[in-house]
Homo-oligomer: A and B are copies of this chain.
C-alpha cells in the first residue's frame, strides 16, 4: 500500500479549508450529539457537537469542546450553559441526522434551531434545558466547570450526568448501552455520517501469564 506523509510544514502551506477538513477527520470517529440549551430569557438553542468525550464514571462526567467565545462571536450554547447551569445531549440517529447537521448553520441570536430544523424541544423530568423529542437516547447534565485552553482559545465544558433517558431494550446486562441498537450513529470530519456494525465485544483484558 502506497503511503502519503504530511508534515507540519505541509500543514502550514495548505489552504485553510483543506487543512480544516483534514485535521477534523484525524482523531478518528466521533460522537454525534445534539446540545440543547436555553437562555435565562427562554430562548432555546440546539447545536450539533462531535466533541463529547467521556471523562469519568464516578462522578459521571462528560466533556465538550466549545470554540472561541469573543465579543464578535457569541457561542449561544456556551452562554446559555453559563447562564442556566444545565444542558442536554441527545444522540443523533439515522432518522434525524440531516436535521442535526442543519443545526450547525449560523443563525442569529434569538433564532431557535429547533424551529429551523424541525426538531422538537422537549422538557423532561423537570429539567431546565430542552431535550430533542425525536432522539432515543437523551442525557441531562449539570454544568460543573469550564477549562480555558489558551493554545487555541477553546473551552472544555464539563457536565455531570443528572438523568439518562433510553429505550428499555438497549441496555446490556452488564450496564453497557447498546448504542447500535438505539440507532446512534457516528460522525467523521465535519460532515460525514456513518452507521455502525458491531464486530465484537471483547472480555476485560488481562496480562498474559
Chain A: residues with CB nearer than 8 A to chain B? 1-8, 11, 14, 16-33, 50-63, 65, 67, 89, 91, 94, 97-98, 101-107, 111, 116, 125, 136, 139, 144-145, 147, 149-152, 154, 156, 158, 160-169, 171-172, 174-177, 179-180, 184-186, 188-208
Q: Are A179 and B188 in contact (CB under 8 A)?
A: yes
Q: Within 8 Å CB of A164, what residues of B? A: 5-6, 22, 26
Q: Within 8 Å CB of A150, what residues of B? A: 145
A103 to chain B: closest CB distance in Å? 8
Contact among B24, B166, B192 with A57 in the assembled complex (CB-CB below 8 Å): B24
Q: Are B188 and A16 in contact (CB under 8 A)?
A: no
Q: A5-B125, A105-B207, A184-B28 are in contact. Are A151 and B198 (CB under 8 A)?
A: no
Contact among B65, B136, B169, B185 with A53 in the assembled complex (CB-CB below 8 Å): B65
A77 to chain B: closest CB distance in Å? 15
Q: Are A28 and B52 in contact (CB under 8 A)?
A: yes
Q: Are B59 and A26 in contact (CB under 8 A)?
A: no
Q: How many copies does the complex hold?
A: 2
Contact among B63, B175, B188 with A19 in the assembled complex (CB-CB below 8 Å): B175
Please measure, in the bound complex, the distance between the C-alpha atom of A21 and the C-alpha atom of B170, giving whole angstroms. Answer: 13
Please measure, in the bound complex, the distance between the C-alpha atom of A198 and the C-alpha atom of B22, giving whole angstroms. Answer: 17
Q: A8-B162, A186-B186, A201-B192 are in contact. Are A61 and B26 (CB under 8 A)?
A: no
Q: Within 8 Å CB of A188, what residues of B? A: 176-177, 179-180, 196
Q: Are A18 and B174 in contact (CB under 8 A)?
A: yes
Q: Within 8 Å CB of A149, what residues of B? A: 55, 61, 145, 147, 156, 158
A88 to chain B: closest CB distance in Å? 13
Q: Are B31 and A28 in contact (CB under 8 A)?
A: yes
Q: Are B186 and A204 in contact (CB under 8 A)?
A: no
Q: A185-B199, A195-B197, A204-B191 are in contact. Are A168 and B2 (CB under 8 A)?
A: yes
